[in-house]
Amino acid sequence: MLAARTAGAVLCAALCVPTTAGAASAAPTAQGPAPNVTVAVPGDVTHPAVDAQQDASTDVAAFDLGDAPVVPADEPAAPDAQVSAEVAAAQDAPVLGAVPARAVDVDGATIVGVTWKGTVSPDRVEVRAQGADDEWSEWTALEPEQDPDGDGGGTDPWFTGGAARVEVRAWGPDGPMAEGLDVAAISTDVTDVDKQLGAQAPGVQLVGSRGSSAGRSAALAGPLRTGTAPAPPTVISRAQWGADPALMTWTPQYAQTTVAAVLHHTAGSNSYTPAQSPGIVRGIYAYHAQSRGWGDIGYNVLVDQYGQIFEGRFGGLTMATVAAHAGGFNSGTFGVSMMGDYSSVAPSAALRESVARIIAWRLGGSYLFDPWEVSTYVTPGHSTSRFSPGTGVRIYRILAHRDVAYTSCPGNAGYSILPWLRNRVGELTGAAKTQIWSNWQALGRTWGDVGQLESDVGTGSAAYFTNGFSATYEPGVGVHSISPRIRPGWLAGSGFTGMGFPRSFEFDVGDRRGRAQEFSADASVVWSPQTGSQAIGGDLRRGWWREGGATGWLGYPTTSQRFVGDGRGVFIEFESTGSLLSTPTTGTAAISGALRSEWWRTGGATGTLGYPNRTQSPVGDGRGLFVEFEKGGSVLWTPTTGARTLTGGVRAAWWRSGGATGLLGYPTRSEGPVGDGVGTFAEFEGGGTILATASTGAHVIHGPVRHYWYGRGGVNGLGYPTTDQKRTADGSGWEIDLAAGVTTVSAPSGATYTVWGAIRDRWRAAGGTRGPGYPVSEPVNYAGRAGGYSSFSSGAQVAWTPTTGALLVPAAVARGWSDRGGYAGRLGVPVAEAVTTGGTTTQRFEGGTLTVRDGVVTG
């Protein structure tokens, strides 16, 4: 039962604890966000044989009590009715027989409660239910509770067993009260999973000594366990009992540690079956989360009379999850509620044993082995609390709700089991002292209090402490601590799942700046004040050590290793502005600085280059660095050229030209698109360019030839190169073929001209620069007719018309032809190749024949 405000209630005095009874000071717990709950110690406490609910449904309805029909009072009003109500609240007995009731049809609701808005709340609420058999239950008192902000409140939820109608009567500050009150009616069905759970209810048989019914157990000190943490009892998870995520609006909050367990009862009928219990929990959850507006169920766990344990508030049972079960005492306490009304009915043996086991697991895992120990709890106060804010309250490790609040909870019969419960929990936890606990004790508890209780992990166990330490134990390995410096990196590496157990103690990495710790999954965590705590493992870890580790050129990692977005590889970054990347196909490679920035510019691992397949290395000339990639690309860097990218055919053409130590040198511009959208190009420090298209391939052009080509319009003029630029036939000049069908030829002097088509072919057939020589001008077109000619450095010419084709005109003949007016003179154009016989050369033209003998031209 949750906290209630009953003015003037006669309750049990707060504990009546003597100041000498095991005094132990406990610091007040602080409320805050989840401490890395996504990587919490596993501690599997859920029911292993039952799946999550799939068809559980919960219907919530609200009825205005002021609009409900009035039912006459059972008896005439007594003059002292109000006083009787206040006194009877502590006795949990109905006394409002003189108050008219209101009737509400609830259509089979299994859970009902009364809520209100505003600052006026009832002092007393009683309810009874009519079942399908038309029989009425006895009147039951529901304890009212005003919300801490004073604006509204509600009673405890009450299990009806499935009522057709309920009657409600209430007494307020001014007498009978109905206006402003609502009846919340919640309906749940019994599902197949509920039946499956109910069929496996433990019905626990008690084993072993129970100790005295009062006083303190003497058997609290047990042998040191060489195994793992206290075994958790079976718990039915939220998914298994059917918690509707849509109803939960509460964001989990956590205390630093657990200091005590608080015993409650839910009130309501005890007449329920094991299969009905999950539905009751669903109803309480809906009432707390929605009708009361708390956003979740109020208890940490609930236990039914058959011994079934249900996970309560969301946030994790191994964590010090803050619930809403004891106002002013919620933070740092573990709220356990017995399902049913234990005002006069004693809890069953199965219920008591399951309550003892879940509390023993929680307190034992928190190293609170003496349930009779007393600590001081500084309460922040609450509207339902018996203590004002800031009061230091002395509490047992196990206490009842009524010890700290104005309530009868957990009922007189429920309250009477506390001495037995403390003794039984002491028996269970006395034998649960572990190797981690032993080390924690030996170190003077410098790790702090237990923040996340010790739980089994694989073959070992682990716990988290409030000073930021985790501690682990494995048989044959022993206990290791993980410090607040190392722990964030271990968690970033997915803790036990990703990193495993410690395999070393924390150590200095050798530079007196940082620390590291090794873990079983081939992993390390490395820390420095500047870079923080980072996880690195597997191939990346080995690659990092190959490069010198923290004292090498990469330095300390600045991130933990992560997956690349494509899911293929992993990577990690370093303070040297370097990265290590690894895939099964490319291996592990390092890249840093400007080379890494250029690689990122191209899209990184998912871009045009892909993953590096080797670590960046010096170029053979000692000037620069380079790194190569899986998709056939390279990034090269020098201090003067910067970092530049070459790929595919452009890179291959660069290698053909001698690479960084060849004709072109280092790229000064990364490969990029040409303006026409057809090709790509890159430029180089040696004055060269490589251009590539799908149809022409990738080719080098440089020097005067490149300058000439640019001057003639580049790709928009003479077109893309179709060959690499190469030496001329005589070895002293350069030539290159271009897509426009021309060849550009550059003489040693730098004079550069083109020859084209059939003229070019005839020139090459005649020996090119070793025959006619270098072109000395651009081709000349005939005026007024089709054709033209080119002149060469030897004095020879090649002339062409569509009818004659390309004909070589030897130098001496060309002089005579020119002297006679050339193609425009009487001779016209040549019509046949020159013929040399016995020292005499002749060549026929349209207008005659020229003969050369001993240097003399005639004709």
Q: Which residues have C-beta within 8 Å of that of residue 431, sequence separation ≥ 6?
A: 222, 223, 225
Q: What is the pLDDT of residue 230?
A: 56
Asked whether residue 138 is domain-assigned, the answer is yes
Asked whether residue 167 is domain-assigned, the answer is yes
Q: What is the pLDDT of residue 226?
A: 43
195: three-class secondary structure by DSSP: helix
Angstrom CA distances, 149 to 117, 144, 382, 845, stand at 11, 15, 9, 117
Average pLDDT in the chain: 86
Q: What is the pLDDT of residue 8?
A: 27
338 close to 284: Cβ distance less than 8 angstroms: no
Tokens encoding 618: 């010096």
Q: Which residues have C-beta within 8 Å of that of residue 856, sequence separation ≥ 6?
A: none
Residues 194, 274: Cα–Cα separation, whole Å: 8
In this predicted model, what pLDDT tens digit does every residue of 177-205 receive, in sequence order?
888 888 988 888 888 887 888 788 775 33
Tokens encoding 718: 């003479």
224 exposure class (CB count in 10 Å sphere: 0-12, 13-18, 19+): exposed
Exposure class string for 816-846: b at 16+ Cβ within 10 A, else e: bbeebebbeeebbbbbeebeeeeeebbbbbe
Asked whether residue 150 is domain-assigned, the answer is yes
The 8-class DSSP code of residue 792 comes to B
Q: Which residues of the chain register pLDDT less than 50?
A: 2-45, 76-93, 204-228
Exposure class string for 115-146: b at 16+ Cβ within 10 A, else e: bbeeeebbbbbbbbbbeeeeeebebbbbbbbb
Angstrom CA distances, 34 to 233, 253, 366, stand at 24, 6, 17
Q: What is the pLDDT of residue 594?
A: 96
Asked whether residue 162 is domain-assigned, the answer is yes
- The whole domain housing 94 covers 58-188
301 residue type, one letter: V
Asked whether residue 124 is domain-assigned, the answer is yes
Q: What is the pLDDT of residue 546?
A: 93
Q: How many domains does the chain have?
A: 1
In this predicted model, what pLDDT tens digit does every residue of 72-98 receive, in sequence order?
766 544 433 343 344 344 444 456 667
Q: Which residues pair with 478 in a beta bridge?
A: 474
324 residue type, one letter: A
Tokens encoding 633: 């690309």
Angstrom CA distances, 113 to 153, 167, 185, 272, 622, stand at 11, 11, 7, 18, 83
Asked whether residue 146 is domain-assigned, the answer is yes
In the sheet with 697-702, reading across from the earlier edge strand, the strands are 667-673, 680-684, 688-693, 697-702
Q: What is the pLDDT of residue 217?
A: 29
pTM summary value:
0.68
CATH for 121:
2.60.120
Q: What is the pLDDT of residue 195?
A: 82
CA atoms within 13 A on the CB side of 837: 4
Asked whether residue 163 is domain-assigned, the answer is yes
The 8-class DSSP code of residue 448 comes to -
171 close to 96: Cβ distance less than 8 angstroms: yes
Is cis: bond before 410, omega within 30 of 0? yes
537 close to 498: Cβ distance less than 8 angstroms: yes
Q: How many CB atoms lie within 10 A of CB 487?
A: 22
Q: What is the pLDDT of residue 859?
A: 86
Residues 447, 460: Cα–Cα separation, whole Å: 19
- Integer-rounded Cα radius of gyration of the chain: 46
Residues 310, 193: Cα–Cα separation, whole Å: 14
Asked whether residue 79 is domain-assigned, the answer is yes
713 close to 675: Cβ distance less than 8 angstroms: no
